[in-house]
Amino acid sequence: MGPGLAIKAVMQRRFSLLVFGWSQVVIDLQPLIAMTTGRGELHGFSHTLLGATLIGLLCGLSGKHLAEWGLRLLREPRHMPVRWRVAFGSAFIGTYSHVLVDSIMHVDVLPFYPFNPANPLHALISIDALHVVCLATAAAGGLAWYAVDRAIRHKGSEAE
DSSP 112-148: TTTT--S-TTTTSS-HHHHHHHHHHHHHHHHHHHHHH
CB 15 within 8 A of CB 88: no
Question: What's the confidence (pLDDT) of residue 31?
Answer: 96
Q: Across the chain, where does the E strand assignment appear?
A: none
Domain that includes residue 10, residue range: 2-159
Q: What is the pLDDT along the chain (160 residues), one digit of tens a residue?
A: 888 999 998 898 999 999 999 999 999 999 999 999 999 899 999 999 999 999 999 999 999 999 999 999 999 888 889 999 999 999 999 999 999 999 999 999 999 999 999 999 999 999 999 999 999 999 999 999 889 888 887 877 676 6
Number of structural domains, the chain? Answer: 1
pLDDT, residue 160, reads: 60
Residue 140 burial class via C-beta count within 10 angstroms: exposed 0-12, middle 13-18, buried 19 and up: middle
Whole-angstrom Cα distance, residue 71 to residue 18?
9
Does an H or E element contain 53, and which? helix 49-73
Positive/negative CA dihedral, 29, 35, 41, 47: positive
- In total, the chain counts a number of residues equal to 160
pLDDT at 159: 61
Helix, strand, or coil here: 80? coil
CA atoms of 118 and 122, how far apart (whole Å): 9
